[in-house]
Structure 1
C-alpha cells in the first residue's frame, strides 16, 4: 500500500470515530483530512450518502438520514434526554456569549433561557446539585462536538467542584462559533421537520448506500436484515463492495453463510470493542457462552433463561466478580445491555424475549486463562 492510500484510510476511519476534527484536537489526523478532503468527500457522499464539510480549521461529518433512517446505532449508554436538552440550551446561550465564557456564565444564561414561555421545557434549576451535575455533562458534550474548547485545566476535579459549588466559575471555554453553527446540518433538519422523510437517492443508489452503511456502521450485517434491493446489489456487486471496504478502511470483511462483518484492525476503531479485559465484558461473554451452549445461536431466550445463565456465571466465576457485579441482578442487566448493543441479543418484539443472533456463535467456548484477580472496571461516564 502506498503512503497516500494509508493516509486516506487513517483519515476516513478517524472521521468515523470522531465526526468533528480540527487542528487543535486532532493535530496528527487533521493535515491528512485537509490533504485528502476531495477523495474523502467522494467516498462519504457516493458510497455512504454522508456529507463531509471541511473548512480552514475543522471538518464535520454529517450522517444524513435516508428515508428518515440513520443506520448508525445509538451510542452505548448515550446521554440522557435532559442532558441533551441542556446541551441544546447551552449551545443557544453560547451563541450570544463572549468569545471566552465559563461554566457559570453558560449556566446563568441557560437558567434565564429555560424560563421563557415559548421554550416549553422544565426550567433549569442550578440550585439543585442534580441539575448542576447534568449541566456539567451537557457542557462536556459540547466540548466533544467542538463547539467549546477548554482553556486551561478542564478535568473531573474542576467539573465536580463547580457542581458542588466549590468553584464559582467552573471551566473556561473558547466559543468556537464555526462549529457551534454546524451542530445542526440543514439537510438533516429539513428531514426532521418534514416528518423524517425526503426524496432520497435513486433506487440503485439507495441500495448501494444502505448496504455500505450497514457494513461500515453495524457490528454485523445479517443477510436477513437486508432489503431485497440491497441483497440484489450485494449479489451483483460483491467484488466492488469488498474492494471499497478495503480501500476505505484497510479492515477485513469476514464473510459467513449468514452474513458479513467488517472487522476493525484495532480496538480504537470501534465505539464498543468486545470483549475487553473488563469485569463487565467478562460477565457478558460468559453469559453469552452459557446461552449459546444451552440454547444455540438463533434461538429465542426468555428473561428466565437470561437470569439462569447470569446466576450460573456468578456462581462459577465468583472470584472474577467485582463488587458492582455482586449486587442484585447486575450480571444479568450488564450482559443484556452489552449483548444488546452488540446485536448479539436482539429483542423479538415480545416483552422479555430475545433472539441470539447468528453472530453469537462467534464467541462460543471462550477460554478462561485465570480468574484469580478481579478485572479492572472501566470508566464509562
Structure 2
C-alpha cells in the first residue's frame, strides 16, 4: 500500500473520531487533512459515499454529519451530556459570539443568564446562584472547549471552572474565543437538511440507500441486516463488492460478514471510541454479565429483566473479589453493565414489560477465559 493511501486512511478515521480539527490541538492530523493530495479525495469520500460535508480552511477542518431523514446516525454515547447541559452549551456559544476575544466562565454565565431570561427563548431560566446549575454550566463550557470554540489560557481551566462551581474562584478560567470554529458549530447545509426545506435535504435523500448502509458500517459497532430497510438491503445485495472495497480503501480495516450482518473491525483498539473489554473492573464484570445473559436468551434474542438480575447475582457470587466500590451492590453492577452494553449496541430495549434484546454480536464475547497473574480465577470456563 502506498504512503498516500495510508495517510488518507489515517486522515479519514481521524476525522470520524475528531470531527472538529484545528492546527493547534491536532497539528499532525490537520496537516494530513489539509494536504493538497488528500483533501479532495477525503471531501469526495465523505460526500459521495456517506453524504457528509467536509469543510477545510487555513486553520481548521470541520466534518458535518448531514442528517438523513431528519436523523444523524451515531452510536449511543456512554455518559452522554444531559439535555440541559446541551442547551446551556448552545446558549454559551451564542453568548461567546458577542463576547470579547478573551472571555471567562463568569462572563459567559452572566450573558447566558440574560439570554435565558428572554421570553422568546422559551427555556427554563438559568440560575447560577444554584450549585446544581453551576455544575451543569461547568460541563457546558467543557463541551465548547472540546469542540474548539473556546481555548483555555493560563492556568488549568478545568480546575478554575471547578473552583468557580464551588464559589472558590470568581472568574472560573479565561478562554480565547476561536471564532472560526464557533461559527462552524452549526453548518447552514446541515441545518437545512435537518429542517428538510431545501435542495440539500433532497440531495441526501436521493442517495439514502447508499448513505444509510455506509453510515451503519462506518459509524455503528455492527450493521445488522434486520435494522436495514428494504432499500438498504437491496443496495447491499447489488453492491456488496463495491461497499466492502470502499470500507477497506477508506479505513484499512476488515469487514467481518455473518448471516446476521456485517461489522467493520478496527485494526487497533485506539481506532475505536469505546474499546471493549478494557482492563478495568467495570468492563470485566460487564463481560461476565453478558456471557451469563447468553444462557438465558430466548428465541429472537429476548431476555427478561429477571434474567438480567440473575446474571448479575451469578457474577457477583462467582467473582466477589472483582466487585470494586463502584460495583458494591447488585443494582450498581446492573446499571453500569446495562449502560456499557447499550453503548456497545449489544443490548437494547428495557421498556415494555421489562424485556431486553441481546444482539447476535454478543456471540463474539462468548465463554471468556478468565485468568489472573498467578492463577485462573474461574476453573469452570470453556476456553
Corresponding residue of 2:378? none
* 1:1-381 equivalences in 2 (<5 Å): 1-35=1-35, 36-194=38-196, 198-201=201-204, 203=206, 205-295=207-297, 298-347=300-349, 350-370=352-372
CA–CA distance in structure 1, aligned partners of residues 197 and 350 of structure 2: 26
Q: 1:157 Cα shift?
A: 2.5
1:350 Cα deviation (Å)?
2.4
For residues 213 and 195 of structure 1, the distance between their equivalents in structure 2, rounded to whole angstroms, comes to: 22
Partner of 1:378: none
Q: Is residue 297–residue 358 contact of structure 1 (8 Å, CA) maintained in 2?
A: no
Is contact 2:70–2:196 with CA below 8 Å preserved after alignment?
A: no
Looking at structure 2, the residues matched to 61 and 53 of structure 1 have their Cα atoms a distance apart, in angstroms, of 6
Distance 2:355 2:298 in 1: 15
Tell me: CA distance 1:342–1:302, structure 2 relative to 1, closer, same or farther (3 Å): same
- Normalized per residue, the structure richer in helix is 2
> Could you say what secondary structure the match of 2:121 adopts?
coil
Please say if residues 94 and 106 of structure 1, whose CA atoms lie closer than 8 Å, have aligned partners that are also in contact. yes
1:267, distance to aligned residue in structure 2 (A): 2.2
1:102 offset after TM fit, Å?
Answer: 0.9
Q: Distance in 1 between matches of 2:204 and 2:145?
A: 33
- Number of residues of Structure 1 aligned to a counterpart in Structure 2: 372
Q: Give TM-score, length-normalised by structure 1.
A: 0.93
Q: Which residue of the partner structure matches residue 381 of structure 2? A: none
In the TM superposition, residue 346 of structure 1 has moved relative to its aligned partner by: 1.9
Per-residue CA deviation, residues 330-373 of structure 1 (Å, 9 max, x unaligned), is 11111111111211112276241111111111100011112899
Kindly indicate whether the alpha-carbon contact (under 8 Å) linking 1:72 and 1:218 is maintained by their aligned counterparts in 2: yes
